[in-house]
Amino acid sequence: MASSPTAVYTGRMDPYIKRIATVVVLGMILSILDMTIVNVALDSLSRDLHTSLASVQWVVSAYLLALAAVIPLAGWAVKKFGAFRVYMYALVLFTLGSALCGLASSTGELIAFRVLQGLGGGLLAPTGMTILVKATGHENLPKVMAAIGVPMVLAPILGPTLGGFLLQSVGWHAIFLVNVPVGIATGIVALRLLPRDRPEPEAAGALDWPGLVLAAAGTVGITYGLSQSASAGSFTSTSVVGPILVGCLCIAGFIKRSRRLANPLLDLKLYSVRVYSAATVVMFCMGAVSFGAMLLLPLFFQDVRGDDALRTGILLIPQGIGGAFGMNRSAAAIRRFGAGLTSVIGLTILVAATAPFLFIGPSTSYWTISMIMVVRGVGIVLAAMPAMTAAFSSLTHDQVGDASPQLNIIQRVGGSLGTAIVAVVLQDNLAHATSTSNGHPSPAAVAHAFNQTYLWVIVISILAFIPGVALWRLERRSRVEGYEPVGAPELMEIVT
């Protein structure tokens, strides 16, 4: 399967497309924001619901597992029922789940409603991307990537900030209830602005139930096993290895089955496109780096510096500012250097801006930390955004619908792996600090535990250089063969 020539961006985004992009991005922000917004509220949830942190952790895990389980269904559902209808149903399900979460009175109820919320949220991102592609056409794909990139890059960064503000000023219920008016408003605007498309039940065919079960079980098994590593404190525990092994076996079975089917649930032939394959590995690593580090930052401010949830949220804003700035500059960078080289530049900035976290401590100036976080935000965006653009731009129009759920799964699993590695390493380092300090480690000792953990974040970032350089070389080869490098969208037109 050969990749198609990349369309080069030539003008400003049409107002009609901007309106559609705004609606779709709002839905995606709702879905992705809820992956991290709850993290700062776990202590409050544990106290108010009178349960352990281990039980409350399922409020986060249930949402992520539901997301992982439903994403493989997105491509088939869009063909069967139409993208507009699936998007609206997913938005209603997510909004209803959010309302029920805000009204929950027990841990069990909250976990169950988070599953409902996750099922809706898991369909919003891939379905929204499909709507944009159908509205703009393949020649405008870079502009679509700009719209998709806004929530994917900024929502994980801004989630803890908004969560800390709502937790401190209103309470944990507001973290879920805030989605209700936004979801209703998005639904009303979507009814007015989103184009209606016709379902293609013949193209969808019958749902591959065995394939869906294998794909969902595989993704959930791997995600769940990785999430258990934090409580187990090891990657070799049976509670970790068992689910991961089962998940890998299910994925292997799904791959084997998909190769035999004429109309599989997910088209795995996309990975024969080398640019797409290299870009997906970069995105996997960036998912691990982004979500792993976002676990460390709030805990550092709270455990080392003694900051409350609201102050912690405010202290995370600089990284979001850096991300917004990087998004603005990445358009010109991709136009000039291509997606591969821009991603490598972003990874270099990311590693350089993460290195100072190996040395920060209880007395490090907040201004110093903030400046470092701004630069780090720039690096995250410059590394992730071009890779995502290259992945979709290397495919034909008809392949994008199959690529979207796969890229979502890759980012989710990457995020789960990064979070698991960081959680286990941090727990081990904190345990060592406690054992060598007679049970009462000093702030400096706790800070040192965080410093050592950040070394793993740097290692993961460095590993992303391998597919990043491969993507750069593939683009250079494309130039020789007569194709242009990936064109860049005017990113800020989406958000202004």
- Note the pLDDT tens digit of each residue in 170-203: 888 888 998 999 999 999 999 998 888 888 777 6
Which CA distances in Å does 402 have to 32, 53, 58, 419?
20, 38, 30, 27
Q: Give 419-446 pLDDT, tens digit per residue.
A: 888 888 888 888 888 877 777 788 888 8
Q: Rounded distance, CA 423 to CA 39, Å?
A: 13
Of 9, 107, 19, 114, residue with least CA distance to 64: 114
The domain ranges of the chain are: 15-207+265-495, 208-264
CB-based contacts of 105, cutoff 8 Å, min separation 6: none
Query: Who contacts 4 (Cβ-Cβ below 8 Å, separation ≥6)?
Result: 138, 394, 395, 396
Tell me the backbone φ, ψ of residue 13, rounded to 5 degrees. Answer: -75, 135
* Cα(48)–Cα(107) distance, integer angstroms: 10
The confidence score (pLDDT) of residue 489 equals 38
DSSP alpha helices (H): ranges in 355-399?
366-393
The listed range with the strongest mean pLDDT (48-62, 123-137, 342-356) is 342-356
Most confident of the ranges 163-167, 285-289, 478-482: 285-289
pLDDT of residue 56: 77
Token pair belonging to 26: 């709002």
pLDDT in tens, 399-413: 777 787 888 788 878
Q: What is the pLDDT of residue 242?
A: 93
CA angle 140, 146, 150 (to 5 degrees): 155
How does the average pLDDT of the chain come out, rounded?
81
What's the rounded Cα separation, in Å, for the pair 36 and 416? 12
Give the pLDDT band (50/70/90) at residue 62.
Answer: confident
Most confident of 94-103, 124-133, 418-427, 433-442: 94-103
Q: Cα separations (Å) of 107 from 37, 54, 103, 172, 227?
A: 17, 11, 11, 13, 18
Structure confidence at residue 154 as a pLDDT band (50, 70, 90): low
Of 385, 273, 371, 366, the residue nearest 328 (C-alpha): 385
Task: Give the pLDDT confidence score for residue 450 in this predicted structure.
Answer: 92
Does 97 score more than 90 pLDDT?
A: yes
**Minimal CA–CA distance to 298: which of 110, 130, 455, 426?**
426
pLDDT score recorded for residue 1: 39
- Residue 496 clears pLDDT 70, i.e. is over it: no
In this predicted structure, the answer to whether residue 224 has a pLDDT above a threshold of 60 is yes
Residue partners of 152: CB distance under 8 A and separation at least 6: 28, 32, 125, 384, 388, 411
Query: What are φ and ψ of residue 105, in 5° steps?
Result: -120, 0
The pLDDT of residue 146 is 58
Structure tokens at 166: 């709502």
- Give residue 274's pLDDT: 86
Residues 406, 381: Cα–Cα separation, whole Å: 20
Rounded to an integer, the average pLDDT of 222-236 is: 79
Alpha-carbon span 132 to 87, nearest angstrom? 12
Q: In sequence order, what are the residues at sequence separation of 6 or more whose Cβ sits closer than 8 angstroms to the Cβ of residue 102?
A: 173, 174, 175, 176, 177, 180
Q: Which range (235-244, 378-387, 473-482) has the least confidence?
A: 473-482
The three-class DSSP label of residue 197 is coil
Residue 373, pLDDT above cutoff 50 = yes
Nearest to 404, CA basis, from 23, 14, 19, 24: 24
* CATH superfamily assigned to domain 15-207+265-495: MFS general substrate transporter like domains (1.20.1250.20)
DSSP annotation of 302 reads: I
Mean pLDDT of all residues in 359-371: 92
Does residue 57 surpass a pLDDT of 80?
A: no
pLDDT digits 0-9 by tens, 292-304: 777 788 888 888 8
Highest mean pLDDT among 37-41, 135-139, 335-339: 335-339
pTM of the model: 0.80
Residue 350 pLDDT exceeds 90 = yes
| H/E segment holding residue 396 | none
pLDDT greater than 80 at residue 6: no
482 pLDDT band, cuts 50/70/90, is very low
